[in-house]
A and B are shown apart, each in its own frame.
Chain A
C-alpha cells in the first residue's frame, strides 16, 4: 500500500491566526495510496491544519516545514499548491453568482491542466467530460447551468466539491467536514464518489467530527487532534472507540 517516499511530510508545524497560536507542533506523514482521518472536538485545530496546508492567507506558519511531493509547500502560493496536486474540499463552499458552474469548472480544469502541461478542453469537449464525472456523484446536469453553488443545498455543495476533486485529479485531497450536514443517502453518494477516485498513487485525508463517514470511506490511519496537537494515532478501530467513549479520555491520557 505504501511506498517509501511520503507524498506529504509535515514536521513540527506551528501556526497562528491574528497572533493566537492554533497549531502547536504537528508531525504528519501521508504516503501514496493511504487514507487518513483526522478527528477531534470542535476547536481542536483540525480544520485549521488543512487550511494552513492549502495556504489560507489568514494563518501564519510560525515554525516547522511541509514537503509536498518533494517540494517545499510553504514556498508556494495557494494556486500553485492546487496546480501541484493539493486539493481542499471546503466545509462551506463559496457562492459565485453570475458565473455558470460549467464555466467555472472548465476554467479551473483548464487552468490546472495548462499548468501541468496538458491539453485544455473547449466548451463542447468539456461538457462531455464533466457529464461523465457527474454520473459518479449522481448529479443532475442542470447543476452545470446554475451559478456556482448559488442556491445549492448543503449536500449539493459538497457534491460539487467532490466533482471538482474528480476534475482536478489531486495527488492529495483534504476533505474538510465533507460529511457534516449530509443525510445518509447524500453521504453514501459522496463517499462512493470519493472511493471511486482512489488510486494507488493518490491519497486522501478526511477531516471529520463524526465516525459515520468512516463506515463508507475506510481509513488506514485515524489521528485525534486536541489543543492544536495530534494526541493519538491508531487504526480504523480508534474511530469506533471515539464514537463510543467520546474524546475526553484521550485528552486526559494525553
Chain B
C-alpha cells in the first residue's frame, strides 16, 4: 500500500488514541491493532478494493478525538428519536452520553444494552473482534486500536424483542474523529432489531470510522438498520460484519444518504447450515457525494440462502459504487443466492460503478445476479403520463418509488415515514404528492 503521502493523516489519527490504561486482553488487542494499522497504512486507489473511491480528500485533513465534547440539547436530537424504540443509546463525537440516552433500567426482560466498558471482560473477549477482524481491513484496525467506548446489545435465548434498539451517533464539531463500535449478540432463537444511525449537527468536515459486529446464534433473527445521514462534508468509513449461525437469519438495511465520501463494507458469513441473509441497500446521493458499498457474502456451509437488493439513486455530479461479492465455497451445496443491483442516474454527470462478483466452487447451487444502470423505464413513465401526470411529475414519482421499495422494507414505522419524507423531498415527489 501507498503510505508515504498519507502518513500524516494516519499518524495523527493513531497518535490521538486515548491513554491506554487497559490491562490484559483488551490492551493487547488494541496494541496488535495499532501495530497492524501502522504497518498496513491506509488504502489508495491503487488498491483494487478502493479503485473507485479516492480518499485523498480525507488524507489531506487531520482529525482529532475532541478534548471537549459539548452536550447537545435534547431538542437537537429530538427529530431523530425513534418512537417505537425500547431503548436509545446516544454517542456524541464517539463518547457515550448518559444524559441523552434513555434510562436503561426499564428495558424489556431478556434485553441488555450496555456500554462496552461495563460488559464482563471474559464474555466480551471471545466475541469482540471475532466477526470483524482487524487484520481484514485498515480502518477496522484503526477502529480497534481506538477501542474505548461503544454499545453492546445482547438478547437472551428464546426472547423476542419487538421494539427496536436505537443507537444514535451524533457529530457535534468539525475536525473530530470518532470510532464507534457496536456488538450485537442474539442468543439462540432470539429476535431483535437494532437501528444504528449516524448524523451531524454541523456542516464541517469530520470523520466517522465505525465497526459493527453481529452474531446471530442458532435460529436467531437479527435486523440491522443502518441510517447513514452524516453531514454533507463528513467522511463515513464503516464495516458491518455478521456471523449467521445454523438456521439463523440476518436482515440488513443500509441507507446511505449523507456524507461527502462514504464507504460501507458489509461482510456476512453464513456459517451455519440453513442460515439466511437478506441485504437491502439504498444510496441516495447528489452534488459531489460519493457513496461506496462493498458487500461480501460468504456461503461456507450447505443450504444457505442470500438475497440482496442494492439500489443507487444518483443525481448531480455524484458517484455511487457497488461491489457485491458472493462466494460459494466448495462445501456449500444447495446454496440459493440472488443479487440484484439497480442504479438510477438522474443527471448527465452522475456516475455509478456497479460490479457483481460471483465466485462459485460448489456444483449444486442456484445463484443469480443482475445489474442495471440507467434512467427510468419508458413504460413506467408512460403509464403515469397516460393518467394525466406531466413528464416531470411522473419521473419524480417513479424516482421516489424506486427508492421507496427499499425504505418500506425496513419495517419500523416511524423510520419508514421519516425516510419516505426525506426521499420525497430529495426526488421532488413531495411537490407532486402535496
Task: Identify the A interface with B (CB < 8 A).
Answer: 54-58, 77-79, 81-83, 87-88, 90, 93-99, 103, 107-108, 111-112, 115, 147, 164, 168
The 5 A-B pairs with the shortest beta carbon distances in the complex, nearest first, are A98-B404, A97-B405, A78-B385, A94-B383, A108-B387
Decide: A99 and B378 in contact? CB cutoff 8 A.
Answer: no
Decide: B420 and A107 in contact? CB cutoff 8 A.
Answer: no
Q: Which residues 394-434 of B sit at the A interface, judged by CB distance below 8 A? A: 394, 397-398, 400-405, 407-408, 420, 423, 429, 432-433
Please name 18 further chain A to chain B contacts, defined as beta carbons within 8 Å, in addition to the given A79-B385, A99-B404, A147-B404, sorted by A numbering.
Answer: A55-B386, A58-B378, A77-B385, A79-B386, A87-B386, A90-B383, A90-B386, A94-B384, A98-B407, A99-B433, A107-B389, A107-B432, A107-B433, A108-B387, A108-B389, A111-B388, A115-B388, A168-B387
Q: Which residues of A contact B433 (CB under 8 A)?
A: 99, 103, 107
Q: Which of B388, B403, B432 contacts A79 (CB 8 A)?
A: B388
Q: Which residues of A contact B423 (CB under 8 A)?
A: 98
Task: Identify the B interface with A (CB < 8 A).
Answer: 378-391, 393-394, 397-398, 400-405, 407-408, 420, 423, 429, 432-433
The B contact surface, by secondary structure, is: helix
Decide: A57 and B378 in contact? CB cutoff 8 A.
Answer: yes
Q: How far is the CA of A154 from the CA of B49 in the complex (A)?
A: 44
Decide: A82 and B397 in contact? CB cutoff 8 A.
Answer: no
Q: How far is the CA of A57 from the CA of B378 in the complex (A)?
A: 7
Decide: B385 and A55 in contact? CB cutoff 8 A.
Answer: yes
Decide: A96 and B401 in contact? CB cutoff 8 A.
Answer: yes
Decide: A82 and B398 in contact? CB cutoff 8 A.
Answer: no
Question: Nearest chain A CB to B411's CB is how many angstroms away?
Answer: 14
Interface centre among A57, A107, A108 (most CB of B within 10 A): A107
Decide: B385 and A108 in contact? CB cutoff 8 A.
Answer: no
Question: Nearest chain B CB to A237's CB is how many angstroms away?
Answer: 33
Q: How far is the CA of A164 from the CA of B386 in the complex (A)?
A: 11
Q: Which residues of A contact B402 (CB under 8 A)?
A: 97
Q: How far is the CA of A60 from the CA of B382 in the complex (A)?
A: 14
Q: Which residues of A contact B390 (CB under 8 A)?
A: 77, 79
- Measured CB to CB, the nearest residue on chain B to A148 is B401
Q: How far is the CA of A82 from the CA of B400 in the complex (A)?
A: 23
